[in-house]
Structure 1
Amino acid sequence: MHFVRLLDDQTFEFISTYPLDTFEYGCSVLSCSFSDDNNVYYCVGTAYVLPEENEPTKGRILVFVVEDGKLQLIAEKETKGAVYSLNAFNGKLLAAINQKIQLYKWVLREDGTHELQSECGHHGHILALYVQTRGDFIVVGDLMKSISLLIYKHEEGAIEERARDYNANWMSAVEILDDDIYLGAENNFNLFSVRKNSEGATDEERSRLEVVGEYHLGEFVNRFRHGSLVMRLPDSDVGQIPTVIFGTINGVIGVIASLPHEQYVFLEKLQTNLRKVIKGVGGLNHEQWRSFNNEKKTVDARNFLDGDLIESFLDLNRTKMDEISTAMSVSVEELCKRVEELTRLH
């Protein structure tokens, strides 16, 4: 048996419990509101995991409201598969169900109750496991088919594919960094970023997400979230740098910062010089270790920096600091200041 539980935010005691059906697993959960309805709901996506089925063929979306500290089920919708992801989207509910992306609207019935009503969908995935949205754009992380970009067209009430990454990546998490750049993690412990090519000369170019960054993290990431682990003062330089937090199955929490170009170029030069001075544990080559590596290819890391390596500059003895300072033609004090700025991001 699996349950949906409401916890006290201070003591973490169970306040309310809703039992799911036998063989029914909770796959996704979301707090959201709908158009023309100010109530806040908890939506839960489930799957019936039956021993004789390779992949769930049935699931449910459950909509709860909390009244007097109790979970009240006010609507449910049967689905033809596991509801792997739920997103609030334009006042509606966007669900990833097996190989389909499905959009539901919140409809008021004549008897005063509400129901989820299917509006439109998009097929074409192996298994759509991870979904992030921004405006009308939908970014999907697939079990095998990497990242694809969909767009919701209001006038037609339709979801269409705009572009995709044609590499085979087994995704474990996705996130939208900005309108054009999307971040992915895959099951060979790599990170990569892709860019939407709006300026492409041909339809073929515009339909392809261009891989712009690759990096071996060495950790299996299962969640990205926009945010920061430290207080960010908006008037400071550091406060202007967007960050994404990631969590891994080993319990590691890390930060990915989108650096301004000038700062990136400076720190990349510092990283290159640090590699010459700092020897890896067991004689391992840092550049080799950070190379993007899967079953099909191994390529040098690009457009990612190793913050841990750069911050280790502050732990070097003065002789090694001077060595790097001379190589870069930058004073030790200036180097320390630039690296300390980086440490304030986490």
Structure 2
Amino acid sequence: MCKRMMLLREGVCSCFLLVKIQIIQTSPFQVSEVYSKELKGAISSLASLQGHLLIASGPKIILHKWTGSELNGVAFFDASPLYVVSLNIVKNFILLGDIHKSIYFLSWKEQVSQLRLLAKDFGSLDCFATEFLIDGSTLSLIVSDELKNVQIFYYALKMSESWKGQKILSRAEFHVGAHVTKFLRLQMFPTSDRTNATPGSDKTNRFALLFGTLDGSIGCIAPLDELTFRRLQSLQKKLVDAVPHVAGLNPRSFRRFHSYRKAHRPGPDSIVDCKLLCHYEMLPLEDQLEIVTRLERLVHRFSQV
């Protein structure tokens, strides 16, 4: 006999049920209710946090502890979000996405049973999906919005631009061209598994984000080491002029952050477009050599990328 615990959500009744599913070889599935509880407002998101159940209900998130017979609230946070649409967890850190007020970065302290706000984005943003992007010891916060953009933020307590850590800072931004509704975090293979890997570039704790969009497409966002990024960025700049584009459209203009009647300060240029880079290997050999020659100092190292 195999037993599993499963959470079911009923948004219409504004309640949630904790049910137990038993799988028996000689009979079909058996489902029995273990616990149910009503809340004020619809449940919009659920997440597991160090053995606790984190529930988002409207503008409030409540952390519950299962005692064996019931769920008891041990902490809550309802400072200013309007309506929570997504929750993501890494260790004791929480990423919260709001329907209009962008993202919030929180931490959970079990010793004092407290959910504490570390930083947030002070701009307005209609979140579609959020997730953590992990690159070794570097933790980034990623969010997709209504205007088909993807932004990457980071928490910098000691930087003056962060207002003593109250504001998260922009690391990169990118226009996908479709509404991203879900990110899936997947661990990457260590770079040492590749031949001719750069010494010291091995990072085993590295994750990529696979995402899906409303138009049916899928994509991936993955971290790069600094040297590889510089090489690919230089190549990308050359390909903008070297490759003929559909209807003569400029890919750099298309990938710029889109804002609707709002002043926007451009973020760092920290993302390379693999869709554009793929055109390089489809070029004739003569054109490839000409582009590489223009890159001067990267000629002898380019084949190692």
Aligned residue number for residue 21 of structure 1: none
For residue 337 of structure 1, report the CA deviation from its aligned partner: 5.5
Say yes or no: does 1:155 pair with 2:111: yes
Aligned residue number for residue 243 of structure 1: 208
Aligned residue number for residue 91 of structure 2: 135
Moved more, 252-261 or 323-332: 323-332
Query: Residues of 1 paired with 2:161 and 2:294: CA distance?
Result: 45
For residue 322 of structure 1, report the CA deviation from its aligned partner: 1.6
Letter in 2 for 1:66: I
Say yes or no: does 1:200 pair with 2:153: no
Query: Residues of 1 paired with 2:298 and 2:166: CA distance?
Result: 47
Query: Residues of 1 paired with 2:243 and 2:125: CA distance?
Result: 32
Aligned residue number for residue 273 of structure 1: 238
Residue among 281, 305, 309 paired with 2:276: 309
Any conservation in 2 of the 1:45–1:85 contact (CA below 8 Å)? Answer: no
Aligned residue number for residue 115 of structure 1: 70
Any conservation in 2 of the 1:213–1:303 contact (CA below 8 Å)? Answer: yes
Any conservation in 1 of the 2:231–2:302 contact (CA below 8 Å)? Answer: no
Q: 1:208 to 1:170 in 2, by over 3 A?
A: same
Say yes or no: does 1:253 pair with 2:218: yes
Query: What is the TM-score normalised by the length of structure 2?
Result: 0.86
Secondary structure at the residue paired with 2:272? coil
Query: Residues of 1 paired with 2:83 and 2:107: CA distance?
Result: 18
Secondary structure at the residue paired with 1:309? helix
Q: How does 1:71-86 map to 2 (within 5 A)?
A: 71-86=31-46
For residue 200 of structure 1, report the CA deviation from its aligned partner: 3.4
Which string of whole-angstrom CA distances, capped at 9 and with x for unpartnered residues, describes residues 121-153 of structure 1?
100211111110112111101101111111112
Query: Residues of 2 paired with 1:172 and 1:195: CA distance?
Result: 19
| Same amino acid, percent of matched pairs | 24
Secondary structure at the residue paired with 2:164? helix
Residue among 200, 205, 213 paired with 2:172: 213
For residue 77 of structure 1, report the CA deviation from its aligned partner: 1.6
Any conservation in 2 of the 1:290–1:301 contact (CA below 8 Å)? Answer: no
Note the residue ranges of structure 2 that are not aligned, 5 or more in a row: 24-28, 198-202
Any conservation in 2 of the 1:215–1:301 contact (CA below 8 Å)? Answer: no
Count of aligned residue pairs for this structure pair: 285
Letter in 2 for 1:312: H
Any conservation in 2 of the 1:291–1:300 contact (CA below 8 Å)? Answer: no
Which string of whole-angstrom CA distances, capped at 9 and with x for unpartnered residues, describes residues 313-339 of structure 1?
10011222122111112677964663x
Secondary structure at the residue paired with 1:271? helix
Residue among 29, 35, 60 paired with 2:15: 60
Q: 1:70 to 1:143 in 2, by over 3 A?
A: same
Q: 1:119 to 1:303 in 2, by over 3 A?
A: same
Q: 1:257 to 1:164 in 2, by over 3 A?
A: same
Secondary structure at the residue paired with 1:96? strand
Query: Residues of 2 paired with 1:146 and 1:319: CA distance?
Result: 47
Query: Residues of 1 paired with 2:121 and 2:94: CA distance?
Result: 14
Letter in 1 for 2:96: V
Secondary structure at the residue paired with 1:205? coil
Letter in 1 for 2:148: F
For residue 96 of structure 1, report the CA deviation from its aligned partner: 1.1
Any conservation in 1 of the 2:6–2:18 contact (CA below 8 Å)? Answer: yes
Secondary structure at the residue paired with 2:178? coil
Aligned residue number for residue 26 of structure 2: none
Q: 1:188 to 1:142 in 2, by over 3 A?
A: same
Any conservation in 2 of the 1:216–1:301 contact (CA below 8 Å)? Answer: no
Aligned residue number for residue 176 of structure 1: 132
Letter in 1 for 2:73: S
Any conservation in 2 of the 1:223–1:246 contact (CA below 8 Å)? Answer: yes
Which string of whole-angstrom CA distances, capped at 9 and with x for unpartnered residues, describes residues 275-309 of structure 1?
11013211111110000011114647721110111
Moved more, 128-137 or 202-211: 202-211
Say yes or no: does 1:283 pair with 2:248: yes
Query: Residues of 2 paired with 1:60 and 1:297: CA distance?
Result: 41
Letter in 2 for 1:257: A
Query: Residues of 1 paired with 2:38 and 2:16: CA distance?
Result: 6
Letter in 2 for 1:217: V
Aligned residue number for residue 200 of structure 2: none
Query: What is the TM-score normalised by the length of structure 1?
Result: 0.76
Secondary structure at the residue paired with 2:278? helix
Query: Residues of 1 paired with 2:124 and 2:109: CA distance?
Result: 28
Q: 1:167 to 1:66 in 2, by over 3 A?
A: same
Query: Residues of 1 paired with 2:175 and 2:165: CA distance?
Result: 27
Which string of whole-angstrom CA distances, capped at 9 and with x for unpartnered residues, describes residues 104-136 of structure 1?
10013xxxxx21111111002111111101121
Aligned residue number for residue 294 of structure 1: 259
Higher relative contact order (CA 8 A, sep 6+): 2
Query: Residues of 2 paired with 1:242 and 1:271: CA distance?
Result: 23
